[in-house]
Amino acid sequence: MKFLSVYYPFHFNPGGEALMKKFISSLPIVARRKDSSMLLAGCGYGEAGFFASKSFPGSVMATDEDAEGIFYAKMVAAALSPENLQFRTMPALAFRFDDASFDAVFLNGILNVYPKNKLLKEACRLLKPGGMLAVADSFWLTEKIPHYARLAWEDARNKIFQKKELEALLAECGFQIREFSDRSRELRAFYLQFKDDAKSITQSGFEGIKHLKSVVKKYKHEIDVYTKLGGDEHLGYFLLTATKSNESIQQFNPSIRLQERETE
């Protein structure tokens, strides 16, 4: 897709397009047909949606609760005209889709934001039998997390897990893990791309963008903690793929539930 970098001069997800390609290439062949469907939950300003539409042969539904982000994504889509991509403003715990609607569900940087068990069970409901879940998000690399690191990346809404906690939660919510890929090395490049801009914006007194002051200051603090204060020893990033367990397939497959009712 030509000229995408004009609209997205920065990558808003660690790993950028390569991360999305890795997930899509890992999908079973049955989930990579032209009649397949994918849900990308947490598309932000839309960049990840365009990456998905380039590599995924079927249709891509990209959602986010941020109306401003979706508005921007739709403007870019109007300019680039991707044939297989739609954007909708929709909170992740209020999906207006039927059971078993998607061959693939990608939770993009939102697992740590919403109640994790509710979000994973909703993803399980939306996946077709044989479909695949992907989760890309932050996780703690160490057992003991310094207070300054928690202050940088956690708040009342955003709670980060350790790997073993995520594995247990996925099993509890009806998933079997296929691969846990540690992508922590990509965080440094992700933060460094913003470093100079965040510094210059702060030094300019946020001229012209005072409405974004709190956002820029938060990013600058994260950058400093990660690159200067040892935050890279504690914060990691992962891409996880999983499939529905047999029990969850029976629970969320409408045809199976219908057959069970007919035999009663």
Residue 5: what pLDDT? Answer: 84
Q: Which of 41, 55, 33, 54 is nearest to 13 (CA)?
A: 41
Residue 208: what pLDDT? Answer: 59
Q: Looking at the DSSP assignment, which residues form a beta bridge with residue 60?
A: 38, 85
Residue 260: what pLDDT? Answer: 41
Structure tokens at 167: 């594995």
Q: What is the DSSP letter of 9?
A: S
Do 65 and 90 touch, CB atoms closer than 8 A? yes
What pLDDT, in 10s, does the model give residues 115-135? 999 999 999 999 999 899 999
Q: Which of 135, 123, 124 is nearest to 166 (CA)?
A: 135
The share of the chain scoring above pLDDT 70, in percent, equals: 88
Tell me the whole-structure pTM to 2 decimals: 0.88
Do 133 and 171 touch, CB atoms closer than 8 A? no
How does strand 235-244 pair with strand 127-140?
antiparallel
CATH 3.40.50.150 fits 8-184+234-246, yes or no: yes
Residue type, 242: A
Q: Categorise residue 101: left if φ over 0, alpha if ψ from -120 to 50, beta otherwise.
A: alpha
3-state DSSP call for residue 236? Answer: strand
pLDDT < 50 regions, the chain = 254-264
| Cα separation values, 198 from 21, 110, 193, 219, Å | 29, 23, 9, 7
Mean pLDDT of all residues in the chain? 88
